[in-house]
Amino acid sequence: MNYKGIKWKTKVFTKKYLYNYIYKNYGFRPKGFYNDVDEYVSKHSEQGKIYYEIYPETISEINIPDNLIKASSSYLDYHLKAKESAKYILKIKNGRILSDLLWTIAVFDEKDKLIGDVSMDLLLDESQTISESRIFKRKYFQNLKYFKGTVFHIIAGGGSYDNYFHWLIDSISKIHLLKESGLFDQVDWFYVPSIEYDYQRDSLKALGVKEEQIIDGKKYPHIKADTLLAPSYARGRNRHIHQWIIDFLKKEFPPKGIPENTARRYFISRKDANTRKIVNEDEVSKLLAQYNIETVVLSKLSFQEKIDLFAYADLIISFSGAGSTNYLFCKEKTKVLELFGDQFVDFRFYYDIAMKENLDFYYFIGENVKKSNSDASGQFNDLLIDVEALKDKIENELEMSKANEPELVV
């Protein structure tokens, strides 16, 4: 295991277990709870308008064909149709928020009562309520940092502090709700998961967030403000990606420059990744080069360069992962070939984005190097590609010829 892997496991162990046994700032523990936002609003009617609804409760659906579901890993749970809660902004006087940036987001009112709906515990199952959150067992609370004025938070679970998908889909998208509420100009501070990566800083700047307004969630995991604006979560427990999220991101982050590569065919490399590598990537890149498909390392590109590359691409080949989030910037009818390992085949997210954007979606299943029986292990599994099988896929399904041969005409 590499250093980053050891560091990750240590962090997970600390957040899941040690916080429940080490006492620090125990006076910040929850003193009760509100089951949901409705209960909180009803008990604070004297404060005037504190609830700003943007989208009403609805039924959310994703359309994934039966053949893709059958090809998926058996341990995955597909919620094709589900109730989706309203999307809103909640204004909390003297509000406080504590987050580990992974599983727990705890939002409190001035009486230290936990507020359901805007708080989250990803380790609860669907039958459990906020009253069973692990925050009630917690003994360790980081030092509190106070910010004068109004704070809007875009904290999200699942790793939005270092994961491109979660940053765009779960965090940044909340700024759409803020803008639609009419409260954007009232915000003094933006509480974000992290500003470690250029895409985080660049996307915030493009949305009108000034550098001096940013509070780094990694530096300050526990804050309080005169007014805390807490948004609903962009995706519910069913984890559907809603059309308004994609529309917002495409509108706010348009392409600005045409990439120099005239072929506009790209294979997204995983060489810069710590996990989920393609073990024979050099062999795969060599094959794809014969079809004028350029290998690209996304981490070497700026946020805007990523947008431009996908916006003008005619073909994208990508090992399923956060980089595939950029499908949402593609033009209609762009061909995308998603690579999977046989131990982790998941069409819930990037296929859904491709269909919402009217892309031509193809998939290829290679061989994972280890056995997996859960998405937790499956998505960290390296991949081995059968190059001859991939060659057959490219020529027969994508109908492409080698660069020195005439293109197939249908």
Determine the pLDDT at residue 12: 60
Q: Which residue has the tokens 């991101």?
A: 249
Q: Which secondary structure element, helix H or strand E, spans residue 378, and what is its range?
A: helix 375-378
Residue 4: pLDDT over 60: no
User: Which domains are delineated in the chain?
Assistant: 12-252 (no CATH), 265-396 (3.40.50)
pLDDT at 122: 86
Q: Which of 152, 398, 210, 368 shows the shortest CA–CA distance to 280?
A: 368
What is the per-residue pLDDT for 402? 83
Give the other-Cβ count within 10 Å of 135's Cβ.
Answer: 22
Percent of the chain residues past pLDDT 70, beyond the cut: 93
Q: How confident is the model at residue 408 (pLDDT cuts 50, 70, 90)?
A: very low
pTM: 0.93
Nearest Cα to Cα of residue 53 among 81, 83, 85: 85
- The continuous run of DSSP H or E covering 318 comes out as strand 315-319
Q: What pLDDT score does 407 carry?
A: 47
Q: Which of 387, 347, 340, 391 is nearest to 367 (CA)?
A: 340
pLDDT in the model for residue 409: 36
Instruction: Spell out the SS3 assignment of 122-134.
Output: CCCCCCCCHHHCH
Beta-bridge mates of residue 318: 268, 338
10 pLDDT higher than 70 = no
Strand order through the sheet with 265-268: 294-296, 265-268, 315-319, 335-341, 360-368, 383-384
Q: Percent of the chain beyond pLDDT 90?
A: 79
Percentages of the chain per state (helix, strand, coil), in multiples of 5: 30, 25, 45
**pLDDT confidence of residue 304:** 96
pLDDT digits (tens, 9 = 90+) for 205-254: 999 999 999 999 999 999 999 999 999 999 977 689 999 999 999 999 99
